[in-house]
Structure 1
Amino acid sequence: MVFRRFGRGYTLVRIGFVVEGYTERIILKSDGFREYLKEKNLQLIHEIIVAGSKDNLAPARITSYVQVLRDNGAEVIVVLRDLDDCLSIEEAKSKVISDTDIEKVIAVQAIESWFLADSKTLGDILNVPDFYFDMPEELVAPFEKLKELRMKYSGRGIGDKKVFARIMVSNGFSVQRAASHPNCPSAKYFLNKLESLAVN
């Protein structure tokens, strides 16, 4: 449905994103992630829409966001949200709008777990060359762990999630590297989902 071939070449699949918060937006707008999309024949259209909270991803509130992306040419819309207080991924997905052109991806427990899974980038920031966090997605509050680690190794705190997300991205954070961590399945699922959109 979303990957079209004409003659000998392929057209790009136009993809739009609705995300829960600004950390997700910073990650998806990064040069590295845009290059990844290009390699997979996916074209990011329009501005990444930040819902602002998980409640704004509910069907009654997200409809206008989805329509803006459709009006700007999105063939597929990916909704990325945290698990937060939901008991299961299925419950979290059930709280997001459904339609034939909408794909739902849940980051367990929160998107900041992906930062813990990128050992190289976080190790560079903390100045710990052999840094490795074994179970990033088992933490209920990964941002609190990031604050703790930065204070421990650099003596500096983290006052704002957006600021730290920009620090991670500017130091080379890679969703692909997070996905390669053996215990970060949500990042791997996210990339697998995107890659499937380019071949279906």
Structure 2
Amino acid sequence: MREQMEYLRDDADGLRRLLLEEPYGIPEMSVDLLVPACHPEAVAGYIIMEVMGYPIYSGSNTLCTATAVLESGIVPKQEGIQRFKLEAPAGLVQIEAKVHNGVVESVTCGGLPSYIDTYRDKIHVPGIGEVTYSIAYSGGFYALVDATELGFKLSRDEERALSECAYKIVEAIKAQRGFSHYTLGDVGPLPFCTLWALKNR
């Protein structure tokens, strides 16, 4: 599955761009491309396409894909708790779905373990200054930054400034270093930054 994803990424990216760029799509969309599974234990494979590229795993996209294969009949629904496996570019994913009166009521998925790759490192970000960040892996690598340390309150009127700030942080980190998953190796450049704050601070 990963080889198919890498082929699309390197040699056939036109499909992703057609589906996600205007006039047919918007950057906020994702595409989960269903393909035949390569692993004998999986009922189907899927390749995730997003505006930033091809993540090897995504929990939200996995939940959508599992629901779609059930609602479309690719995997026949069974009343009660139903379990099966899907194949992502990152490997097998265990799915548990609850079906009630023929409707998929809930889906859970078990992905790869999440972990902290980097804890409270510092980087100079042009236009911002020194930024303290951590890096977590949870289906992809995420930069985690305390927004209050940068003067934000995380209010609605800061939305544009937060977006611009996050972009600058990601670009600065990407220019300085890359990240490698401990079993999957290179899973692509850093795509995300989460600006957070403790609620009661």
TM-score (norm 1): 0.32
Bigger strand fraction: 2
Higher relative contact order (CA 8 A, sep 6+): 1
TM-score (norm 2): 0.32
